[in-house]
Amino acid sequence: MSAEVTVDPAERRVFIDKQSPKAYKALLAAAEATKEVAAEAGLDRRLVELVNLRVSQINGCAYCLHVHTRAALREGETTQRLGVLPAWRDTELFTARERAALALAEATTNPADAALQAAAYGLAREVFTEEELSAAIWVAITINSFNRVSIMSKHPVRPMPGL
List the domains of the chain with CATH numbers: 21-153 (1.20.1290.10)
Residue 5 pLDDT exceeds 50: no
16-46 pLDDT, tens digit per residue, is 999 999 999 999 999 999 999 999 999 999 9
Q: Average pLDDT for residues 97-103, to the nearest whole number? A: 98
Largest CA distance in the chain: 65
157 Cβ contact list (under 8 Å, min separation 6)? 62, 63, 65, 66
70 Cβ contact list (under 8 Å, min separation 6)? 163
